[in-house]
Amino acid sequence: MKKLFNIMLALLMLMPFMHINASTKTDALIEMLKEQSKSYDGTVTYENDEIQIEWFIPNSKLEQVSFLYNENIIEYNPGEITSYEEASESMSHTIYATELIRAALIVNGYSDEEVKEFFNSEDKEFDYDINGIEFKSLGESKPYTSSDGTSTLTVAPISIKIDVAKANLNSATDPAFVTKSTTVEDVVNYLNNNEDFASTKDNGKTIFENEVSIDDDTLTIDHTFYWEDYYNVSFYVEDDVISYEDEIIDYFDAERALSHQMYMRQIIVNALKINGYTTEQINNFFSSETNEFNYDVNGIEIKEIGEEKEYYSSDGEESILIIPMSYKIDLKRANLNKYKVLEGENQKISNDKELTFRLNIDYAVFKEEGKVYVDGKLVDPSNYTSKEGSTIITFNSNYVKTLSNKEHTLKVAVNDGEVLTHFTIDDANTIKNPNTGDNILVYIILFGLSIVGFVLSKIYFNKKRFN
């Protein structure tokens, strides 16, 4: 189970991390899924209380992507893009180059967290003179359609240049470049020894393999993608609660169940992002051996509903080892916490009332280290009172009047966890306070930080639709 979650997390690292304003959490989730589906020419629809996801995966094949390098400088220039095939190739090279950049930064001493933080930053810039890394747009983004007219890919040509020896994340005008002697060979060795990059498996079945080599000033990545058995999926939704349960009888059902399990994990991660969690927080929670999903606490339920079993294809040449699962997620309150709201969750009040929440946090702990946030902004203690029981927090009416007429997020944090919930101010006379944090910062990851790029790059070759 942990392996499946880790793979799904990797699949999501490339995706834009953004807050989306929408009338319901389901609407917000649909918008995020639609944005992500563009990466694989998929479609997402929401009709009659059902989310439907259609996507396309290519036939398995070996792909080689090559980059020229000279004296530890790696370069790629797509030249003029005139066809769908050239656009696909440009996209693939850009994705691989992103992983090369990430690897170069890591071998130069940066941690994964530092790299992610830099890529997440709104004010980051890649300046070759400063960072040893250059991304340069060579033209406007244009759509390109395949010869059979079934797929369209919109890309902008981008040239890329990396000085592996001095790749860094500095932003100072006069940077001190990393002085350690780093070579292209170091990057190649790092990638080939990186377990997630070299080979990824799920339930014993290989999804993809990569191998990097260098020869005659050319760096080549051989990429083999094996798993092409995902199918279109659908999920039942009611009042922002999504539920799904596997029913597996034969190999065909097992294939479809894998598709649904993968997308339920995607939905869970996206719901957590929409509710304010960072990629790092999600990753830390999923990778911990002690954390569990409990519907009453987390708004997420994941259950094994049967024994692990192997299913064979009709010709006996393929098999799938799978555990049947059931999932349930309340999008409004999806969270990663052991703490929860005992009273007051998702309440709706007018702006002339006090606002009270009761939480299962020990009051002594809250008094010593507790902090209260509304819409991500720390609230001054003068705006609320607290008392024991376990912890009861009441915002005074004067503070409530400053909140705008919409849904708000409440976070109460202590050192070993936090509570996230929502409430809605519903009053026509609401006064907006510019200091309450109503303007939500939008983060977009410009470049992928994970191996998913190597999986997604394949969807632009030999399109095959599964129904």
pLDDT for position 17? 39
Does a structural domain hold residue 305? yes
pLDDT tier for residue 277 given thresholds of 50, 70 and 90: confident
- 302 and 179 belong to one structural domain: no
- 70 and 219 belong to one structural domain: yes
- 192 and 249 belong to one structural domain: no
pLDDT tier for residue 351 given thresholds of 50, 70 and 90: confident
Q: Which two tokens stand for residue 434?
A: 């510019």
Does a structural domain hold residue 151? yes
Determine if the pTM surpasses 0.85. no
- 246 and 256 belong to one structural domain: yes
Does a structural domain hold residue 438? no
- 152 and 70 belong to one structural domain: yes
Task: Choose between 61 and 166: higher pLDDT.
Answer: 166
| pLDDT tens readout for residues 306-342 | 999 999 988 888 888 899 999 999 998 898 877 888 8
pLDDT for position 149? 76
Domain boundary among 330, 350, 378: 330
Does a structural domain hold residue 433? no
Mean pLDDT check: name the lowest of 7-21, 84-98, 342-356, 403-417. Answer: 7-21
Task: Give the mean pLDDT of 290-299.
Answer: 82
Q: Is the pLDDT of residue 400 over 90?
A: yes
- 254 and 305 belong to one structural domain: yes
- 79 and 137 belong to one structural domain: yes
Measured CA to CA, the distance from residue 327 to residue 314 in angstroms comes to: 29
Does a structural domain hold residue 458? no
Q: What is the mean pLDDT of the chain?
A: 78
- 300 and 378 belong to one structural domain: no
| pLDDT tens readout for residues 69-98 | 998 999 999 888 999 888 888 888 888 888
Does a structural domain hold residue 434? no
- 86 and 98 belong to one structural domain: yes
Domains contained in the chain, number: 3
pLDDT tier for residue 204 given thresholds of 50, 70 and 90: low
pLDDT for position 115? 84
From residue 424, alpha-carbon distances to 237, 253, 413, 421 in Å are 22, 42, 20, 11
pLDDT for position 135? 86
Task: Give the mean pLDDT of 370-380.
Answer: 92
The secondary structure of residue 113, as a DSSP letter, is H
- 198 and 293 belong to one structural domain: no
Written as one string, the DSSP assignment of 356-389 is: EEEESS-HHHHHHH-EEEETTEEPPGGGEEEEET
Q: Is the pLDDT of residue 174 over 50?
A: no
- 270 and 201 belong to one structural domain: no
Measured CA to CA, the distance from residue 86 to residue 276 in angstroms comes to: 38
Does a structural domain hold residue 38? yes
Measured CA to CA, the distance from residue 164 to residue 105 in angstroms comes to: 8
- 222 and 119 belong to one structural domain: yes
CATH code, domain with 383? 2.60.40.10
Does a structural domain hold residue 119? yes
Q: Which range marks the domain in which residue 287 is found?
A: 2-58+228-330
Domain boundary among 330, 355, 376: 330
